[in-house]
Structures are given as structure tokens and as C-alpha cells.
Amino acid sequence: MKQFNQIILIISIVVISIVLSGCSLSEDQGSDQIFTSENLHKTEILNLELATPNPSKTSPVIKDLTKTPVNNKTEDQKPSPVDKNETSINVDQYSLTISSPLQGISIEELNEITSNPFVFLGAGKDEGHHGTDFSFYQYKSFDQIEQLPVLAVFSGEVTSVGENRPPYGNMLIIETPLENFSDDFQSEFVKIENFNNLPNYTNLNCPNYSSQTTKIELDSLSIYTLYAHLYEVPEFELSQHVVVGNPIGEVGNSGLSGNPHLHLEFRIGPSNFEFDEMAHYENNATLKEMENYCLWRVSGFFYQVDPMKIFENYLQNR
């Protein structure tokens, strides 16, 4: 009986040991599994957080960027980070849309080759110097400016091709809608606010161009760039698209010009106006040529802009 009891005790100890070890084993396995699955779960959440931005944090920014018009800023509004983004986007876009008018000469260097500056003597006056002249005899590695390629300062559409007519000679006018420019650019250069108060200047001999002014649309403005005294007649047609930085001709001495130079002229005026032919100061100038010249120079619809101010604006804002 004592032996039987001992056997029962030994069996009980063995069974209890097996049961205890089995429990501890399953607990370890269980805790391992739970720990691993928690880890996986945490990793998945972390990955999701990294991969997917929290919509509640980002959606207001996206909404502001796309829906806040740039024009609606007032002086009282302090710029928010979103405003800064919009400004930098505009500046970047603008910096991509301007070129020096002369190949091999940077915008910064244009000051050094300015031979005749812009002189403004009043809106609607033919006097003064309505553009800036660039010329040199020797500059950097260039021996002469004649036949140096002239480049489009802005992209746009051709609105006048001059075939060696006085005073501009061989020339090209390219129109660029002002909506392509930043608000800062527009607020600095747009001066025409009321077309009903245009100056009435009569010193220049002009035909009655009132029939032409009926074609003028006043609902949007463009900047018009004129390149004068080119070497040859520009090989462009009206309405042809020109890309910024592309060659539009070569520096020449055509028209009323004493030496080879580029006369660069900017005006802001009503969009979609085709000047086509333009001439003055010569007996054989046709009525249509003189009408267009007077509209361009003295009507007041097309306001003179200092070319160097445009390049300075770019250098300050790039």
C-alpha cells in the first residue's frame, strides 16, 4: 500500500509537472504571438501614417491654394504661409517667361550696352524716346552688334511686321496677355485705368483714326514688345506664335537709324489689336500705316513702359 501511494504520488508529480510545463509553454507561445501581432499592427499603422497624409491636416491647404484668388489680397491681410506659396509660384512662373533681347548678353549686362535710354515726356506724346537702344562696337567677345541675334523677351503672338518702313525700319511687335504675369508685375506697370480720359495730342500729323479705335476691345490688357531697326524683314506672319528666348531676327540699321542698334519698346494696351503695317515721317506713308503709327505712338491707348524697369523688376523678384 505504501508502494502504491508512492507510485500515485510520483505519477501525480509527473502529471502536475507536465501540465505546469505545458501551460507555461503555451503561455510563452501565446505571448509571443500576441506581441508579434501587436508589433505588426503598430508597424502597419505607422506605415499608413507615413504613406497617407492625414487628410484633416492637409485638405485646408489644398483648398486655399486652389480656391483663394491672388487678386483678393488687401493691404490689411497679413500674408499666410499659403500666400507665400502663391507668391513664389507666380515669381517662378514669371522668371520662366522672360529673356534678354540679345543672344549672348544677359539681362544683368543690358545696362552696360544701353546707348540711348527711355525718355518719357508724357502719355500720348510723340516726343521723348519711347524705348531703350542697345548698341556697342566691341563687347565681351563680340566685335560688333550688327547681326547679333535678337531674341523674344516674352512669348506671344505677332501683331505687326514692319517691312523697312520709317521710322522703325524692319520691325516686329509681339503681344503677350498681361494675365500671364504676376500680380506684382501688373500692379507696377499697369497705369491705364480710364480709357475715357486719354490725352488728346495733336502735334504729330495724324489722320483721323477714330474708325480704328472702334476695333479696340477694352476688357483685357496686353504688353506689346516692339523690336526695331532689324537687319532684315522678320520672317513672321500676323498671329504667329513666338516662344520666349527664340530668335526673331538680327540687330540691324534699318529705318531712321544712325548706326546698328536694337530699339526695344514696350507698351501696355488693350488686347487683341493688330497693328499690321505702320509708318510715318515719309511722304509715301499710306493712310493705314499712319493710322496705326498714331494709334501706337500718341493715341494714349498704348502706354509707354520703360524697358529697363521691366528687366529691373525681373532681377528684383527672381
Where does this chain bind Zn ion (CB under 5 A)? 131, 133, 263
Residue whose C-alpha is closest to residue 265's, from 294, 307, 223, 308? 307
Rounded distance between C-alpha atoms, residue 284 and residue 76, angstroms: 57
- By C-beta, is 134 or 275 nearer to Zn ion? 134
Using alpha carbons only, how large is the chain's radius of gyration in Å?
37
Shortest distance, position 148 Cβ to Zn ion, whole Å: 16
- By C-beta, is 155 or 229 nearer to Zn ion? 229
Cβ-based neighbours of 112, under 8 Å, separated by 6 or more? 139
The cell numbers describing 87, all together, are 507668391
- By C-beta, is 133 or 250 nearer to Zn ion? 133
Shortest distance, position 257 Cβ to Zn ion, whole Å: 8
- By C-beta, is 165 or 263 nearer to Zn ion? 263
Distances (CA, A) of 10 to 4, 13, 15: 10, 5, 8
**156-165/169-177 β-pairing:** antiparallel
Shortest distance, position 275 Cβ to Zn ion, whole Å: 18
Rounded distance between C-alpha atoms, residue 127 and residue 219, angstroms: 29
How many angstroms separate the most distant Cα atoms in the chain? Answer: 148
Shortest distance, position 123 Cβ to Zn ion, whole Å: 18
- By C-beta, is 134 or 209 nearer to Zn ion? 134
Shortest distance, position 131 Cβ to Zn ion, whole Å: 5
| CB neighbourhood size of 308 (10 A) | 16
- By C-beta, is 133 or 175 nearer to Zn ion? 133
Rounded distance between C-alpha atoms, residue 200 and residue 197, angstroms: 9
For residue 72, the number of C-alpha atoms closer than 13 Å in the C-beta half-sphere is: 6
Shortest distance, position 291 Cβ to Zn ion, whole Å: 22
Shortest distance, position 132 Cβ to Zn ion, whole Å: 7
Residue whose C-alpha is closest to residue 296's, from 194, 166, 173? 173
- By C-beta, is 131 or 166 nearer to Zn ion? 131
Measured from each CB, the residue nearest to Zn ion is 263
Q: DSSP code of 146?
A: T
